[in-house]
């Protein structure tokens, strides 16, 4: 199972990714968290895992990828950036970090002023997910950058389901509609998780959406906020996340 997690900036994508990873591993699954967000530096901290080397460096760095893309463009060819067929156990140890049954792989980050766009990171993300081979008890959780660029670049073409994280804002509702329409173009099922909200607000949000797509509501949790502020791992139980994890397992197992 490959699960894409997306939404607006600040909606809680990395938090939900972490909570789901923690919960799913207790159910006997091996989780690989794929960090495709080029500008978020906090996911490994939430997971309580030291950040591994970036996959982009394994194939020569950003410049090498750009050079490869430029050559392909000049020839009018579509050349994949990443061609290895990897299971989790095939990933070089420097480029994957592990804690219990959760593995973390980071595609790449923007680090320097004026270094250019994140196109190589998007292309590498797409090709890696296409070639990632999972066993029956493996689940990939893909944490994405804010917005819809990952959909435009075809990263979602290699996943089984798209999860949209919404916070209580009009922007989140609007973005969820756009993500849904783009995902449907790729024949990908879309589900919503309402995050950082109470029952009253959740009902108001639900009235503006397709209720059948909402698979869970995660209330605001001051413990999560405090841990996030202190840079501590989110090693807490969340009953709403348990129900979401069960839904995903049942739905995708029967797909």
Write the pLDDT tens digit of every residue in 89-98. 999 999 999 9
Please check whether residue 216 is in contact with residue 247, taking contact to mean a CB–CB distance below 8 angstroms. yes
**List of residues 6+ apart from 5 with CB closer than 8 A:** 13, 16, 17, 20, 141, 142, 143, 144, 163, 165
Structure token digits, residue 214: 């909402």
Interatomic CA distance for residues 237 and 51, integer angstroms: 23
In degrees, rounded to 5, the angle at the alpha carbon of residue 149 between the alpha carbons of residues 112 and 166 is 105
Q: Quick one: pLDDT at residue 41?
A: 82
**List of residues 6+ apart from 52 with CB closer than 8 A:** 94, 95, 96, 97, 104, 105, 106
Report if pTM > 0.85. yes
102 - beta bridge partners?
Answer: 31, 99
Q: Quick one: pLDDT at residue 77?
A: 63
In degrees, rounded to 5, the angle at the alpha carbon of residue 244 between the alpha carbons of residues 128 and 45 is 55
Please check whether residue 85 is in contact with residue 158, taking contact to mean a CB–CB distance below 8 angstroms. no
**pLDDT digit string, tens, across residues 162-189:** 999 999 999 999 999 998 888 888 889 9
């Amino acid at each position: 199972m490959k699960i894409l997690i997306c939404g607006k900036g600040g909606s809680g994508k990395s938090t939900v990714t972490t909570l789901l990873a923690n919960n799913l591993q207790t159910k006997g699954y091996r989780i690989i968290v794929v960090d495709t967000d080029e500008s978020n530096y906090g996911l490994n901290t939430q997971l309580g895992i030291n950040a591994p080397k970036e996959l982009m460096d394994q194939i020569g760095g950003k410049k090498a990828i750009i050079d490869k893309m430029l050559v392909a463009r000049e020839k009018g060819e579509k050349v994949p950036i990443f061609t290895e067929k990897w299971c989790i156990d095939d990933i070089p140890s420097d480029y994957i970090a592990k804690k219990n049954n959760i593995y973390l792989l980071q595609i790449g980050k923007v680090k320097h002023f004026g270094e250019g766009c994140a196109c190589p990171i998007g292309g590498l993300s797409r090709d890696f997910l296409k070639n990632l081979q999972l066993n029956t008890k493996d689940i990939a959780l893909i944490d994405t950058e804010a917005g819809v660029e990952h959909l435009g670049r075809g990263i979602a073409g290699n996943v089984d389901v798209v999860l949209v994280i919404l916070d209580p804002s009009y922007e989140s509702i609007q973005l969820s509609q756009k993500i849904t329409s783009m995902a449907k173009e790729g024949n990908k099922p879309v589900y919503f998780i309402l995050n950082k909200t109470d029952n009253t607000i959740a009902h108001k949000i639900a009235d503006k959406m397709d209720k059948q797509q909402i698979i869970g509501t995660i209330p605001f949790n001051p413990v999560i906020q405090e841990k996030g502020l202190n840079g501590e791992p989110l090693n807490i139980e969340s009953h709403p996340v348990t129900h979401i994890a069960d839904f995903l397992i049942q739905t995708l197992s029967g797909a």
